[in-house]
């Protein structure tokens, strides 16, 4: 009997990792890092199964909460292929090297602090993995085209389909045979939003025996794109009048390119003043270049613009900031500037230094354009915390805080339901994952009520037989 085990993104949004076993074949779908506080410890635990007993990894996309434990998996003995799309293969290398160097810095920082505090050896002072470990897994990254079937052994076959969530993102259809029975399992991965700019729409499926569906926004509807863009213009204009700076904490992959895309559009419409814009993230800069190198993966409009040499991710007044010195120099500029920097949830990176300079200024604003997981500095700020701790010091929050949900790269409740509605004969089971507990539960309840299907919200470590 084929079996699935939920090794992450179970009643939380990070740490996506699912093990499928059928007739001796073991396949892992995603191998992500937990980024929410109480669950982060899990990343340090040994793998629940021996890594050398897994035949292949299917990687839906490059985001760290889906890919971040690959270097550890390989270091601990996994030597099979890691299948993903060509764009994901390029992006994930940038993301894993960055993650590894942050792990290394973090470990050094902790070691220093523990030494000062006389707590030598307090856990964890070693990085979860190093840049060396990250590089060691690159040769196993194996590119496949959308729709191309990949044999994973005598009894398992996979194919990737456009998920419309990030450049190169995929949904995975896995066919397994066990005891003479075939089962089709569809993993939504992170599902994008139909009709959204830049990327193509998510693929729909007419048949599936089992579905593993994300539920990040399973309890909410997004505001329409036009409303989000006018809210962005309003926030920028307000801050320009007040004379402060505009900080946009942003993920290097996808959200940074979207912000550039919309800023470009607003500038062309003369809806915002021509301020200097700093993309203060070497990683976001490299990934933006990949968008321009892979127009075939983008929607028709964006593809056309890039092929005509008018990249929507570039405009007059945009400065690409690569070095730390250049980044620091931004703080000395008088007058309003727009700073886009990582990390998206303010858990690390250059955004922290810009927050230190701006968070206590009532004339500045911080625009949150991405999801803020619980237990992160970003979440604390959007929740209205009057004071926050950044780099070991407390600061009052006086800047204007604006939260946007309309930029989300995830389908909302209605879009998730519509996507499932394409499956003609009801699936044998639906597992709702990748959502905070309340969102996942709410979505599961709604889906079961509307369809009468068997819907469940697995716990971390739960296993289910795919009967």
Where does this chain bind Zn ion (CB under 5 A)? 63, 190
Of 22 and 252, nearer to Zn ion (C-beta) is: 252
DSSP assignment, residue 330?
Answer: G
Q: Which two tokens stand for residue 90?
A: 């390029």
The nearest distance, CB 323 to Zn ion, in angstroms, is: 28
The nearest distance, CB 411 to Zn ion, in angstroms, is: 12
Of 63 and 294, nearer to Zn ion (C-beta) is: 63
8 A C-beta contact, residue 280 and residue 341: yes
Of 133 and 190, nearer to Zn ion (C-beta) is: 190
Of 369 and 399, nearer to Zn ion (C-beta) is: 369
Quote helix, strand, coil % in the chain, to nearest 5: 35, 20, 45
d(CA 278, CA 318): 6
d(CA 69, CA 47): 10
Of 80 and 349, nearer to Zn ion (C-beta) is: 349
The nearest distance, CB 163 to Zn ion, in angstroms, is: 9
Q: Which two tokens stand for residue 165?
A: 């969530």
d(CA 411, CA 419): 9
Spatial strand order in the sheet of 276-280: 318-320, 276-280, 337-341, 246-249, 365-368, 400-403
The nearest distance, CB 193 to Zn ion, in angstroms, is: 13
The nearest distance, CB 62 to Zn ion, in angstroms, is: 8
Of 51 and 344, nearer to Zn ion (C-beta) is: 344
Of 190 and 280, nearer to Zn ion (C-beta) is: 190
The full DSSP string for 37-77 is GGGGGGGGSPPSS-GGG--EEE-----HHHHTTHHHHHHTT
Spatial strand order in the sheet of 429-433: 150-153, 156-162, 170-178, 181-187, 210-214, 429-433, 455-456
The nearest distance, CB 409 to Zn ion, in angstroms, is: 6
The nearest distance, CB 371 to Zn ion, in angstroms, is: 9
8 A C-beta contact, residue 153 and residue 144: no
The nearest distance, CB 175 to Zn ion, in angstroms, is: 24
Of 63 and 193, nearer to Zn ion (C-beta) is: 63
The nearest distance, CB 337 to Zn ion, in angstroms, is: 29
Of 29 and 156, nearer to Zn ion (C-beta) is: 29
How many C-beta atoms lie closer than 10 Å to residue 82's C-beta?
24
The nearest distance, CB 112 to Zn ion, in angstroms, is: 33
DSSP assignment, residue 459?
Answer: P
Closest CA to 217 of 16, 455, 423, 405: 405
- Backbone dihedral angles phi then psi of residue 89, each to the nearest 5 degrees: -60, -40
How many C-beta atoms lie closer than 10 Å to residue 387's C-beta?
11
The nearest distance, CB 9 to Zn ion, in angstroms, is: 10
Of 17 and 63, nearer to Zn ion (C-beta) is: 63
For 78-224, where are the alpha helices, taking DSSP H only?
86-116, 131-137
Dihedral angle of Cα 318, 323, 327, 328, to the nearest 10 degrees: -150
The nearest distance, CB 98 to Zn ion, in angstroms, is: 16
d(CA 431, CA 458): 7
For 339-412, where are the alpha helices, taking DSSP H only?
351-358, 377-382
d(CA 408, CA 392): 30
Of 36 and 190, nearer to Zn ion (C-beta) is: 190
Of 178 and 190, nearer to Zn ion (C-beta) is: 190
User: Is the peptide bond between 124 and the residue preceding it cis, with omega within 30 degrees of 0?
Assistant: yes
């Amino acid at each position: 009997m084929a079996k699935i085990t939920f090794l992450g993104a179970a009643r939380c949004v990070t740490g996506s990792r699912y093990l499928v076993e059928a007739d001796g074949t073991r396949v892992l779908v995603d191998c992500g890092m937990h980024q929410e506080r109480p669950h982060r410890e899990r990343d340090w635990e040994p793998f629940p199964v021996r890594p050398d007993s897994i035949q292949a990894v299917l990687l839906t996309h490059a985001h760290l909460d889906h890919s971040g434990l690959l270097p550890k998996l390989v270091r601990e003995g996994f030597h099979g292929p890691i299948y993903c799309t060509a764009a994901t293969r390029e992006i994930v290398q940038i993301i894993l090297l960055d993650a590894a160097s942050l792990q290394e810095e973090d470990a050094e920082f902790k070691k220093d602090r523990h030494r000062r505090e006389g707590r030598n050896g307090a856990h964890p002072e070693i990085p979860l993995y190093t840049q060396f470990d990250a590089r060691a897994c690159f040769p196993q990254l194996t590119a496949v085209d959308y729709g191309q079937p990949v044999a994973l052994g005598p009894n398992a076959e996979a194919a990737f389909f456009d998920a419309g969530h990030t450049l190169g993102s995929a949904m995975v259809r896995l066919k397994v045979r066990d005891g003479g029975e075939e089962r089709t399992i569809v993993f939504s991965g992170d599902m994008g939003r139909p009709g959204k700019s830049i990327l193509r729409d998510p693929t729909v499926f007419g048949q599936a025996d089992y579905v593993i569906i994300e539920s990040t926004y399973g309890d909410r509807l997004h505001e329409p794109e036009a409303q989000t863009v006018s809210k962005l213009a309003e926030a920028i204009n307000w801050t320009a009048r007040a004379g402060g700076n505009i900080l946009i904490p942003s993920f290097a992959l996808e959200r940074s390119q979207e912000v550039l895309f919309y800023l470009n559009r607003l500038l062309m419409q003369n809806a915002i003043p021509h301020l200097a814009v700093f993309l203060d993230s070497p990683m976001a800069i490299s990934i933006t270049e990949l968008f321009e190198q892979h127009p075939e993966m983008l929607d028709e409009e964006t593809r056309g613009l890039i092929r005509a040499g008018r990249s929507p991710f570039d405009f007059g007044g945009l400065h690409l900031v690569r070095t730390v010195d250049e980044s620091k120099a931004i703080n000395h500029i008088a007058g309003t500037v727009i700073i886009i920097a990582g990390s998206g949830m303010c858990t690390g990176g250059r955004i922290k230094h810009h927050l230190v300079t701006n968070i206590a200024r009532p004339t500045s604003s911080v625009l949150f354009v991405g999801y803020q997981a619980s237990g992160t500095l970003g979440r604390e700020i959007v929740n209205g915390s009057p004071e926050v701790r950044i780099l070991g010091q407390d600061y009052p929050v006086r800047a204007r805080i604006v939260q946007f949900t309309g930029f989300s790269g995830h389908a909302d409740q209605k879009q998730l339901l519509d996507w499932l509605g394409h499956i003609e004969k009801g699936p044998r089971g639906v597992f709702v994952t990748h959502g905070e507990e309340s969102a996942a539960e709410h979505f599961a309840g709604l889906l079961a009520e509307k369809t009468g299907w068997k819907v469940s919200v697995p716990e971390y470590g739960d296993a289910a037989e795919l009967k």
